[in-house]
Amino acid sequence: MSVSTHVLDSVAGRPAAGIAVRLFVGEDLLAEGVTDRDGRVRLTEDATAVGTHRLVFATGPWFAEQGRDAFYPEVSLAFVVHEPAEHHHVPLLLAPFAYSTYRGS
C-alpha cells in the first residue's frame, strides 16, 4: 500500500509547504515526512496491514512560523485500509480555525 497526502491552505489558496506529517499504524510510527513546495508528501511505498491508520499533521508549528494564530495544534486523520495493495491518498484542506478532508485518488 502507498500513502500520500496533499495539504492546501484554503485561506491563502495555495499549497501548504513545510508541514511535518507522521503516519501511524496503531501507536507505531510507520513513516514521516514534510510537505514539499506543492504541499505534497508520499509517506510510504511499503506494504502495510489491513486496519486503522492515522495521519498526524503538525499544523500549529506551521501556522506559528507564518505568524498566524490557529485553533488546532495538530490535525489527526484516522482512516481504514481494507485493501493493502491500493494507493491511499488523504488530502487536507486547512484553515486556521477549520479543516476538512476526503479520500483522494
pLDDT at 47: 66
Q: What gap in Å lies between CA 105 and CA 97, rounded to an integer?
A: 26
Q: What gap in Å lies between CA 103 and CA 105, rounded to an integer?
A: 7
Domain 2-101 - what CATH class? mainly beta
pLDDT at 2: 86
The phi, psi pair for 59, rounded to 5°, reads -80, -35
Q: What gap in Å lies between CA 91 and CA 94, rounded to an integer?
A: 10
Q: Which residues contact 34 (CB under 8 A, 6 or more apart)?
A: 18, 19, 20, 21, 41
Q: What is the mean pLDDT of residues 7-13?
A: 97
Q: Does residue 48 carry a pLDDT above 80?
A: no
pLDDT at 105: 85
